[in-house]
Every structure is written in structure tokens, then in C-alpha cells.
Homo-oligomer: A and B are copies of this chain.
């Protein structure tokens, strides 16, 4: 057995550092055949692109060139040492491969290969058991089988060409390869980055507990996200989750929470999904934040990493448009926030600022009339050749009789916990194009000025033009340090969970955000 650099006792398996920082990699079973060539793009091209510094070897009995690299007929033929092997060969051939790995001194073997316990067939179950026995004998660690493996930007590991090369604070463990891709891309699209992401499949050796323990100690990981389909050791999982959650926020998406979903996890990763009620109690008890979709997980990560925790669930929604404001209110309240009526004294002050016609001076506030009035006032003051010219010139500051004063007044509303700024892209009668970017700038400036916790929701996007503008607007919000959400429901759910988390763990979110900088 390998010596344990962390000084753990000899009977425990080697720690995971070697898994994330291998000095050399061999990919076994890639194909020159066009039908199999897409795997080359998963396991060779991303590492080259991300600047993996070690040796990459390709193994194929037919030799030749694969993905631009010379193919060695077997692992034994590889000239240097190999720390990490990626298996893309059929399941039946994996026991032989693992014996070769043992001889070669390989430290970690990751199996893209499927066809093991998840099939529910005895042959696959037995094969998987043999893999584990062989690995334990030689002190090797196994990732998978039936998984995509490791994404670790700092060491140049990855399995898709479009994963960001930059590192970040999120450590992800994910029992599904496809969901790893979706979570990484969803979060990346929202400006978030990862320290590590592990697609760990059937978890025959390295499992959710090992990964939680590792990420809890990993200095590069500040918040942990987990997609878990099941466990074989509920007691250890509870301990690992509790330990992880005591150090870092942990967001858990339990896949297979319905009856059919539970059956699906069994055939996907051979996981016993377990009763949803048990999982609920379990996750609550350890202090993990539970979410129910990738979208909810991404929103939760945005809230944790970018949003000041609100003082309570009472919020004021501020945006343009009456109908969208009604919908925003329903979605907020449905998710557990409240939009209380504006107190009379605050309403009176707002009436000095915002025309009462069309502004719904209750809560939500429809700011469209205020924006119109500001523009009209400016037309009298300055040259403006077009409407689009006017809005960026609105200076947002206290005393501006506009957005700035709106913030000042709302800050005097004692019970208010937060302000949600929102814009419905495809609602208004004017088709969306780049003019909207300028129209949104004063709102973003107001959000930055706001002393209350705040969030920006850019929503109701169906047209391609709007989508393009959304991407730009989101970028501007992110550069202004604003938390951005893409639906009112998603925002409200994440914010409510953030408030609950802050209530249970005061100060933890602030410490997280400070550690990320």
C-alpha cells in the first residue's frame, strides 16, 4: 500500500490529492473510428486546451495516431510512469486493464466505461465488485465506473471543451456526468467558477462521503455543491455532510426524489435512492441547503456567493410594468417572501417622486411612470436626439428626484428586508434591442446605490433579440457586483433559502463572500 502523505493509518485508502493532481495520464480505449472520436474531444482536447502540464498518453491495441497523439498498444508499452488512467474500454475488459494498472503503479483509475452494477444484472454487479477488490489490493483509487470523471481547472483536468479554464470557489460532487456538465455550464453562464467538479457515477470506491470529506478540507473550495442519487452508507454520509456543512455552505440536490425517480437512479448509477422524507430530515439535520433542480442549485450558488443576506423575508419589488409586477408578486409570495403594503408615510413621500397614474404605488412599484417623467424633465434641459440618448444621462444619486431618491425613501421603510429590481424583457410593447441595455443602466445604478440587500431579476425572455440583450445586461450587472437571477420564482426561492441559512448560521455567508473576495 502507498504511504499516506497525510499520515492516516495504513488501513484507510490513500487520500484524494493524487486524484486531482496526477503527474501523467493515460487514456485507454479511444478510437480513431469516427463514431468513437467524440470521446477524444472529451478526454484529450480539453486537457490540452486547459494547459495540463503532465504527460498524456493514448493506449489502443491497434497503435497508430489518435487525437494527434501516438497510440501505445498497451499500458505496459507507455514509456513513462502513469498516475491516472481513464478507461473507455468495454466493461468485460476492465479487470484485465486493472491488473495492468497495478503492475504499472497507477494511482487512480477513472471509468468512463459503463455496464456494471447500474445494469441490475449479476454480471455487471460482479464485475464492479472485482474492480474494487483489485484496487484495494494495490492501493489504487477508482473514480466511477459509469462517469465522466474530474474537472479541476487548477491542474488542467476536464472533460468538455467549453468548461471554463479559470478556477473558482465551488467544489462540486455529482453522481451524473450529464448533470455535471449542466451544473458547470449553468453556473459558468452566471459568472461562477469551480475549484473541482467530480462526476463519480456508481461510486464503487470514491463515493460521496470521500468527496465531501475532501472538499470540506480543500482550501480552494469555499462552498460545496452536491448532486447525489443515493448512498450505501447513510450513517457515514450524515457524518460527512455534517462535517462539511460545519465548515462551508453545502447545497444538495437529491436526484430521484419521486418514486419513478428513485427507480431511475437505481438503473442510472445503481443507487438506492431512499425515502424522500428520510432525505429531507437528514439534510435539514446536517444544515445542508436542499434544492430540487439544477436551476435552483445555480440560483442558490449565485445567492450564496453574490448576495448580501436580507434582514427578513419582507421585500419590495421595483420594476417596469403592471402585469409583470403582479406576476412578480405572486411568484415571490409563492416562494415564501412577502410583499407588504407600503406604509402610508412612505407612500406619501413616493407620491412626491412618482406620478400616481400607472405606478401601482403599493408594492410592487411600477417605475415606468417615474422613468417617463425623468425623461420628460430631461428633454427640457438638454439636447437629446433620441429616446435612447436620454436614459444613460440620468444621474442616479440622492436628490435626483428619481431612482436615487427612490432608494433613500425605501431605506426609511423600517420593516423592509430587501429590494428586488426586475425587468420583464418580452412584456413591454417596444421590441427589445440594444436600447434596453441603456434603459437598464439607471436601475443597475440604483441597485448598486441601495443600502438594503438587493437582487436584480432579468426575466421573461423568449425572443432571440431579447436573449442577446439579456446576456449583455447580465454581464453589466455582474461587473457591478450585483446578484442576477433569470426568473422571479428562481430568485425568490434562492433568497428565501439564503435568509433561512443566514438565520441558522449567522455571519457564515458574509465570511464566505469575504473569503472569495
Contacts and interface: CB of A to CB of B under 8 A. Distances in A.
A363 B263 contact: yes
Contacts of A258: 329-330, 333-334
A41 B430 contact: yes
A35 B176 contact: no
A409 interface: no
A294 B327 contact: yes
A305 interface: no
A95 interface: no
Contacts of A180: 323
A426 B186 CA distance: 8
A37 B387 contact: yes
A380 to B, nearest CB: 9
B471 A464 contact: yes
Interface string A150-192: 0000000001111000000000001111111110011001000
Contacts of A255: 323, 326-327, 330
A462 to B, nearest CB: 4
A261 B333 contact: yes
Which of A160, A261, A489 is packed against the most chain B CB atoms within 10 Å?
A: A261
A188 to B, nearest CB: 8
A80 interface: no
A203 to B, nearest CB: 13
Contacts of A35: 372, 375-376, 378-379, 384, 387, 390
B257 A178 contact: no
A240 interface: no
A105 interface: no
A224 interface: no
A327 B375 CA distance: 47
A264 B294 contact: no
A431 interface: yes
A269 interface: yes
Contact of A181 (B333, B339, B364, B428): B428
Given A362-B267, A363-B260, A463 B34 contact: no
Contacts of A160: 429-431
Interface in A299-334: 321-327, 329-334
B263 A341 contact: yes
Interface stretch (A50-58, A114-122, A134-142, A494-502): A114-122
Contacts of A431: 160-162
A398 interface: no
Contacts of A37: 387
Given A189-B463, A334-B258, A264 B364 contact: yes
Nearest to A92: B357
Contacts of A274: none
Interface in A253-300: 255-261, 263-269, 292-294
Given A36-B372, A118-B358, A258-B329, 5 more contacts: A146-B358, A258-B333, A259-B333, A293-B327, A294-B327
6 contacts: A119-B356, A146-B358, A148-B429, A181-B427, A186-B462, A258-B334
